[in-house]
Structure 1
Amino acid sequence: MLDNQIKAQLQQYLTMLEGDLLIKVSVADDKTSQDMLNLVEELEKMSPRITVQHALLERTPSFSIDKVGAEESGIVFAGLPLGHEFTSLVLALLQVSGRAPKVDAAVVKRIQAIKQPMKFETYVSLTCHNCPDVVQALNIMAVLNPNVSNTMVEGGAFQDEIKARDIMAVPTVFLNGENFGGGRMELEEILTKLGEVSDGSEFADVDPFDVLVVGGGPAGASAAIYSARKGIRTGIVADRFGGQVNDTLSIENIIGTKATEGPAFVSSLEAHVLDYDIDVLKSQRAAKIEKKDFVEVTLENGAVLKGKTVILSTGARYRQLDVPGEEQFKNKGVAYCPHCDGPIFKGKNVAVIGGGNSGVEAAIDLAGIVNHVTLIQRGAELKADKVLQERVRSLKNVTVLTNALTKEITGTDKVNGLTYIDSVSGEEKHIALEGVFIQIGLLPNTEFLQGAVNMNGHGEIIVDKHGATNIPGVFAAGDCTDTAYKQIVISMGSGATAALGAFDYMIRNVTDNHLVKA
């Protein structure tokens, strides 16, 4: 079931178990059941702390993980937790055994404050790189609060449920039988969605930072590390650590790293940041910035953080079409991540909107899964690299439409097609489809900065060669700025530039009492 290399790695992890575990497994005669039985039996052979017992669970095939002598953990895996979900399995084994999850005390308090029963069901695909974050977050909640349970449901093993619940994107989470939400969600985001909101009180006594970084993507991580290496007090406040890189699968242009995946790269960024004395404040969104004695950043929860300098690295997000049907059919046929949601459309007809690199790459990726891909570009020519254009045009199940302006995504309870206008003939046309993947670029996350810092017509922050904005002591880096190119490696470089610029500003403009000169 597991190759020798994975077995060796797993063997090391299992030595870290802190208590005895009982795995209850519910199987039948199908292949997935037999593969699951082989998996749990291999786990049993690897550790004397693991016992496997046959049982009848809510779903078959599935297995639960409980600590011997303790109440049920509420953690269940329905379907094989392999691929991207293998880490979820390993962490569940460790945490149920008694190994404490790495969670801030304030977050633990919010989890333990949940009083009502919460039964989560998380539908995943094993190719989805965002799904494990949701599964692991909900499993942590189950470990820390007996009122919470979570079942990972692998969509390939439970196609009837996928159809019955009309699931067209992963991860999709149900809470107590009702649709709770979809897409990548971190633990803090889930708690906020549940109403377990931070009131900002934990920030009341936070001293001013020398450098406060707003945003936790590659630019923000780089800026924080460069700042901390100067020995100065550094903090990061971020809505989502890693930013849009979390939604990127294959990364092959980080110099010195031949290939990696977005979530793995984000994990390495966060680990590097945490090697330094950097305060990381997650799931907090900035609402306003003002220059007073310090630069003050007001969060959406009303808390105010102060910095002698601030580096804005708020990144960007997927640009939306803003056409009828897009919002209505999100996660019901409208998707933004071909790697995550592509397998759900196996054998179906889909469209990809966008003729740049991301759009063409999505079409190539989906062509190996779906029945047919229609690639739609509003301009007269594709904008992707020549090698990608040649590749996509060589695929027999891909049709490329140029001069096609998307007018509407159609459907009733889910997507059934797309209407576009041929900008050459003016004719309106309709394509029957079951999915639409939107890949039309990015928008900077700078709305809260309107009127505070100078921006160009695209909403990008204008910076000089030191990363400085028009506000003394405020710097910016990455995709939220007017940099010519939006690339991870460029964002990291601009983060370092902004950090060095901020440090140079401080040594020239900060008095002994740590107040920035007017």
Structure 2
Amino acid sequence: MLDATLKTQLKAYLEKVTQPFEIVASLDDSDKSRELLALLNDIVGLSDKIALRTDGSDTRRPSFSLNHPDGNISLHFAGIPMGHEFTSLVLALLQVGGHPSKTAADVIEQIKNIEGEFNFETYFSLSCQNCPDVVQALNLMAVINPNIRHVAIDGALFQDEVEQRQIMSVPSIYLNGQPFGQGRMGVEEILAKIDTGAAARDAEKLSAKQAFDVLVVGGGPAGASAAIYAARKGIRTGVAAERFGGQVLDTMAIENFISIQETEGPKLARALEEHVKQYDVDIMNLQRADKLIPATQAGQLHEVRFTSGASLKAKTVILATGARWREMNVPGEQEYRGRGVAYCPHCDGPLFKGKRVAVIGGGNSGVEAAIDLAGIVAQVTLIEFDSQLRADAVLQRKLFSLPNVTVVTSALTSEVKGDGQKVTGLVYKDRNSSEFHSLDLEGIFVQIGLVPNTDWLKGTVELSPRGEIVVDSRGQTSLPGIFAAGDVTTVPYKQIVIAVGEGAKASLGAFDHLIRTSAPA
């Protein structure tokens, strides 16, 4: 199952296992069960502290659990955790085997102290770059607290369950049989939902913090770069982010970040965060900015308030809140979001195997999505508003070579249709003839660009007609001491490498502002 190189790497990791445990597999006579058995045999062959049993009684087959002799851990995988989930498997093996997690001590203590019964189920796809964060978070919680149980389920392998629960987006998380959440979540975010009172306690702690010299709002490439450049100046630096990594977390292949030939968004996001942690930077996650209260006179502090109730003050602020997926804003889109309307083809594509889908958008993202989906689904219809596709020529050639792809140009998506439970089709208008056409389908993937996250800034800093923060050549906004960087600004060409540079520039601009405003007369 595993090649020689991967076995060598895995063996080195498994040497960190200090406590014996066993893998209990539930199998049948299917090819997938034989595949899983081969993987598990490879694993137990690499460590004398791991044993394998094949007499499991789980109704989901193939599946396996990682069990301690004392039975105080309930951690299961239903399916074969390869692809993006192989890392989740390796971490689970290490943590069940006694290797300590790098998670902060106060978070581990919070997990230990949670009371109640929590039975989590996570549906994932092997191509989903958002799923491992959820799987790894819940696995860790199951290892630490015996009241928490978790099973990670490959939705593509257990299609009956996916159909029964009408799951059309991954990761989809269930708690005690009821929907708990969708999309990327980390340990802290999950804890905030199940540990009542945690958010209020955290907000109180944040509000009590000393004022920062530089407060960066946002944790994407621009925010990470700004934080590093500020910290290197030796000044008090903080980063408040809704999720560290930002939009990069939803990006699959990255092949144009200079000096790195190829990587994936989540991998780059982790590298950015680890780099920031090398410096004395106060990182505050799960904080969505809600209001900016700028200083009104010299010597005053700027204030940023958050939806959590927290409030932070700083001498200078760098706004790097990035952008989010642009929505179609048509009837039915919000009603069927996560029930057929999706924004991540890599994550949710496997759930539409053999079905009919549409991709909205003819730029690089839309065409790449259509190409990827064509290998999974029965039929792809790409709908573009313009009279021609805007994607690179090499992508268009690939797209038009695929037999199960139809391209419709000069088309305005007008409505998402559904039966009350899930998407059943869409309506588009032919912009040339003004005629309306209906498509019967099961999924709609929206890929029409980004919109800046500046709703909370209206009435404070100057915004462009597109809602972007207007900045000068130093990253300065219309307000003294308030800077901005990245996709949220008017700087053209929304690229990761540009955001990194703009973050550095805004940070240097903020430092220069601090020097000039704090210098004695």
The alignment's TM-score, normalised by the length of structure 1, stands at 0.95
Query: Could you tell me how far 1:122 is from its partner in structure 2?
Result: 0.7
**1:287 aligns to what SS in structure 2?**
strand
Q: Give 1:180's aligned amino acid.
A: F
Query: Could you tell me how far 1:251 is from its partner in structure 2?
Result: 0.8
Alignment counterpart, residue 495 of structure 2, candidates 477, 483, 487: 487
Q: Tell me the distance in 2 between the aligned counterparts of 1:267 and 1:225.
A: 15
- After TM superposition, list the pairs within 5 Å mapping 1:145-164 onto structure 2: 145-164=145-164
- After TM superposition, list the pairs within 5 Å mapping 1:98-113 onto structure 2: 98-113=98-113
Alignment counterpart, residue 346 of structure 1, candidates 341, 344, 353: 353
Matched, 1:430 2:438: yes
The aligned length equals 512
Query: Could you tell me how far 1:390 is from its partner in structure 2?
Result: 3.2
Superposed CA deviations along residues 67-119 of structure 1, whole A, max 9, x for unmatched, are 334x4312101111111101101111122223332323443354344322111
Q: 1:478 to 1:319 in 2, by over 3 A?
A: same
Q: Tell me the distance in 2 between the aligned counterparts of 1:475 and 1:99.
A: 43
The aligned counterpart of 1:298 is 305
Q: Give 2:406's aligned amino acid.
A: T
The aligned counterpart of 2:64 is 63
**2:434 aligns to what SS in structure 1?**
coil
Q: Tell me the distance in 2 between the aligned counterparts of 1:205 and 1:5.
A: 50
Q: Tell me the distance in 1 between the aligned counterparts of 2:293 and 2:104.
A: 29
**1:180 aligns to what SS in structure 2?**
strand
Residue segments in structure 2 that go unaligned for 5+ positions in a row: none
Matched, 1:453 2:461: yes
Matched, 1:385 2:401: no
| 370-379 or 291-300, which deviates more | 291-300
Q: Tell me the distance in 2 between the aligned counterparts of 1:277 and 1:8.
A: 36
Q: Tell me the distance in 1 between the aligned counterparts of 2:277 and 2:59.
A: 40
The aligned counterpart of 1:256 is 259
Q: Tell me the distance in 1 between the aligned counterparts of 2:84 and 2:237.
A: 33
Q: Give 1:495's aligned amino acid.
A: G
Matched, 1:247 2:255: no
**1:383 aligns to what SS in structure 2?**
coil
Superposed CA deviations along residues 344-383 of structure 1, whole A, max 9, x for unmatched, are 2222211111122211111122122222211111222222
Q: Tell me the distance in 2 between the aligned counterparts of 1:463 and 1:161.
A: 50
| 22-31 or 462-471, which deviates more | 22-31
Q: Tell me the distance in 1 between the aligned counterparts of 2:274 and 2:514.
A: 27
The aligned counterpart of 1:496 is 504
Query: Could you tell me how far 1:319 is from its partner in structure 2?
Result: 0.7
Superposed CA deviations along residues 32-78 of structure 1, whole A, max 9, x for unmatched, are 22222222222222112212223323422211113334x43121011
Mapped contact 2:317–2:482 kept (Cα < 8 A): yes
Q: Tell me the distance in 1 between the aligned counterparts of 2:34 and 2:362.
A: 44
| 170-179 or 475-484, which deviates more | 170-179
**2:156 aligns to what SS in structure 1?**
helix
The aligned counterpart of 1:170 is 170
Q: Tell me the distance in 1 between the aligned counterparts of 2:40 and 2:372.
A: 33
Q: Tell me the distance in 1 between the aligned counterparts of 2:393 and 2:81.
A: 39
Alignment counterpart, residue 425 of structure 2, candidates 411, 417, 420: 417
Q: CA RMSD in A?
A: 1.7
Query: Could you tell me how far 1:302 is from its partner in structure 2?
Result: 2.0
Q: Tell me the distance in 2 between the aligned counterparts of 1:259 and 1:56.
A: 42
Query: Could you tell me how far 1:16 is from its partner in structure 2?
Result: 1.3
Q: Tell me the distance in 1 between the aligned counterparts of 2:209 and 2:483.
A: 21
Q: Tell me the distance in 1 between the aligned counterparts of 2:312 and 2:103.
A: 22
The aligned counterpart of 1:231 is 234
Mapped contact 1:289–1:296 kept (Cα < 8 A): yes
The aligned counterpart of 1:313 is 320
The aligned counterpart of 1:509 is 517
Query: Could you tell me how far 1:313 is from its partner in structure 2?
Result: 0.4
**1:384 aligns to what SS in structure 2?**
coil
Percent identity, please. Answer: 54
- After TM superposition, list the pairs within 5 Å mapping 1:329-408 onto structure 2: 329-408=336-415
Q: Tell me the distance in 2 between the aligned counterparts of 1:43 and 1:257.
A: 31
Q: Tell me the distance in 2 between the aligned counterparts of 1:281 and 1:155.
A: 33
**1:65 aligns to what SS in structure 2?**
strand
Superposed CA deviations along residues 231-276 of structure 1, whole A, max 9, x for unmatched, are 2221111001101111110111101111111111111111111111
Q: Tell me the distance in 1 between the aligned counterparts of 2:114 and 2:233.
A: 41
The aligned counterpart of 1:279 is 282
The aligned counterpart of 1:184 is 184
Superposed CA deviations along residues 368-420 of structure 1, whole A, max 9, x for unmatched, are 22222111112222222233233323333221111211111112121111111
Q: Tell me the distance in 2 between the aligned counterparts of 1:184 and 1:460.
A: 26
Mapped contact 2:114–2:195 kept (Cα < 8 A): no
| 111-120 or 459-468, which deviates more | 111-120
Q: Tell me the distance in 1 between the aligned counterparts of 2:478 and 2:364.
A: 33
Mapped contact 1:345–1:369 kept (Cα < 8 A): yes
Query: Could you tell me how far 1:301 is from its partner in structure 2?
Result: 2.1
Q: Tell me the distance in 2 between the aligned counterparts of 1:277 and 1:318.
A: 32
The aligned counterpart of 2:478 is 470
Query: Could you tell me how far 1:321 is from its partner in structure 2?
Result: 0.8
Q: Give 2:518's aligned amino acid.
A: V
Q: 1:237 to 1:182 in 2, by over 3 A?
A: same
Mapped contact 1:201–1:303 kept (Cα < 8 A): yes
| 56-65 or 433-442, which deviates more | 56-65
Q: Give 1:405's aligned amino acid.
A: L
Mapped contact 1:19–1:68 kept (Cα < 8 A): no
Query: Could you tell me how far 1:511 is from its partner in structure 2?
Result: 5.2
Query: Could you tell me how far 1:202 is from its partner in structure 2?
Result: 2.2
**1:270 aligns to what SS in structure 2?**
helix
Query: Could you tell me how far 1:285 is from its partner in structure 2?
Result: 1.2
Q: Tell me the distance in 2 between the aligned counterparts of 1:40 and 1:401.
A: 47
| 348-357 or 187-196, which deviates more | 187-196
Q: Tell me the distance in 2 between the aligned counterparts of 1:31 and 1:84.
A: 21
